Chain A
């Protein structure tokens, strides 16, 4: 079993749609969680951290379920510019060297 698993997609949605991605992780000792965004042929960039209580940043909402060991990302009112690959990232310790990246979920938003 992969340490971090994501549905690779692609998700094809129309503009204005709501789309949700899930990510599961295998190590219950995982301590911090993130969603990164990666545009085609570009570097990953932090989208948002995921906090235990859930958090929202504009149209984006992240949730963490420690009991079931999954995190989710909800995108409301999708824009064409949201088309990208979304990487689930799990950190099992300080320093970053125990950081595991999921393979990513591809999203295409169409007009």
Chain B
């Protein structure tokens, strides 16, 4: 049981290049999320998904796209990277909230992205 995995772990891009970050979870979780973490700031939600085939925007979606073609995978795309997208990206997953709002998000190990 690997939990949540992310690839790649590190990446350096030049401005204008594109890339896709892959997140996979083996816990059969319905919900998946992409966050970015910058120094001095909390984790900020980029996009999220409440189930296979559905995605929605979070707090900071501009410049990113996502897809969830399979329940276990959630992809984050940068079409034209900018220096402002230099950050650590974390994927997470969780079970449905349901009527109980107390649930845990499980995070992947993160991807450190630098855009020059």
Binding site for B on A (CB under 8 A): 4, 8, 31-32, 34, 42-46, 49, 51, 87, 91, 93-97, 99-104
- 13 further interface pairs, Cβ-Cβ under 8 Å (given A32-B102, A103-B41): A8-B40, A42-B109, A43-B107, A44-B90, A87-B42, A95-B97, A96-B97, A97-B45, A97-B58, A100-B42, A101-B44, A102-B42, A104-B42
Given A8-B40, A44-B43, A87-B42; A99-B101 close (CB under 8 Å): no
Contact A96 B48 (CB under 8 A): yes
Minimal beta-carbon separation of A84 from chain B (angstroms): 14
Contacts of A99 in B (CB 8 A): 45, 105
Interface size class on chain B is 20 to 34
CA distance A76 to B90 in the complex (A): 30
Contacts of A8 in B (CB 8 A): 40
The residue of chain B having its C-beta at the shortest distance from the C-beta of A8 within the complex is: B40
Contact B97 A93 (CB under 8 A): yes
Question: 12 A-B contacts, Cβ less than 8 Å apart?
Answer: A32-B103, A43-B107, A87-B42, A87-B43, A95-B50, A95-B96, A96-B97, A97-B31, A97-B56, A99-B45, A99-B105, A104-B42
Query: Chain B binding site: helix, strand, loop or mixed by DSSP?
Result: loop
The reply on B62 being an interface residue by CB < 8 A is no
Binding site for A on B (CB under 8 A): 31, 33, 35, 40-45, 48, 50, 56, 58, 90, 92, 94, 96-99, 101-105, 107-110
CA distance A32 to B98 in the complex (A): 13
Contact B97 A94 (CB under 8 A): yes
CA distance A4 to B44 in the complex (A): 12
Contact B40 A96 (CB under 8 A): no
Contact A97 B48 (CB under 8 A): yes
CA distance A31 to B103 in the complex (A): 11
Contacts of B90 in A (CB 8 A): 43-44
Candidate in B42, B45, B107 with the most chain A CB atoms within 10 angstroms: B42
Given A8-B40, A103-B40; A96-B94 close (CB under 8 Å): yes
CA distance A106 to B31 in the complex (A): 29
Contacts of A44 in B (CB 8 A): 43, 90, 105, 107
Contact A46 B109 (CB under 8 A): no
